[in-house]
Amino acid sequence: MSNAIETLDGGAANSPASLSGLQQAIWTNGLLAAAAWAAAALVTVGLPDVVPWGSAGLFAAITAGGAAVFAALAFIVRRLGRTGDAIVHYGPWFIAIGVWFALWELTTAKLGWLPKPFFSPPNGLLNVYVAEAPRLLVCIAYTLRLWSLGFVSGVVVGYAAGVALGWSKRFSYWGMPILKLIGPVPATAWIPCTFFFFPTTFAASVFIVALASGIPVTILTSSGVAAVNRAYYDVGRNLGAPNWYLISKIAVPASLPHVFVGLFMGLYYSFAVLVVAEMLGAKFGLGWYIQFQTAYSGYANVYATLVIMSLICAGIVKLLFVARDQLLNYQKGFI
CB-based burial, 141-175: b 16+ in 10 Å, e otherwise:
ebbeebbebbbebbbebbbebbbbbbbeeeebeeb
Question: Is residue 310 scored above 60 in pLDDT?
Answer: yes
C-alpha 90/C-alpha 82 separation (Å) is 13
Q: What is the pLDDT of residue 26?
A: 84
Domain boundaries, the chain: 16-129, 133-327
- Give the tens place of pLDDT for each residue, 201-249: 888 888 889 999 989 999 888 888 887 777 777 777 777 777 777 777 7
**pTM over cut 0.85:** no
C-alpha 206/C-alpha 277 separation (Å) is 8
Question: Is residue 159 scored above 60 in pLDDT?
Answer: yes
23 or 121: which leads in pLDDT: 121
CATH number of 133-327: 1.10.3720.10
Q: What is the pLDDT of residue 8?
A: 43
Largest CA distance in the chain: 103
- Out of 87-96, 229-238, 311-320, pick the least confident: 229-238
C-alpha 307/C-alpha 102 separation (Å) is 18
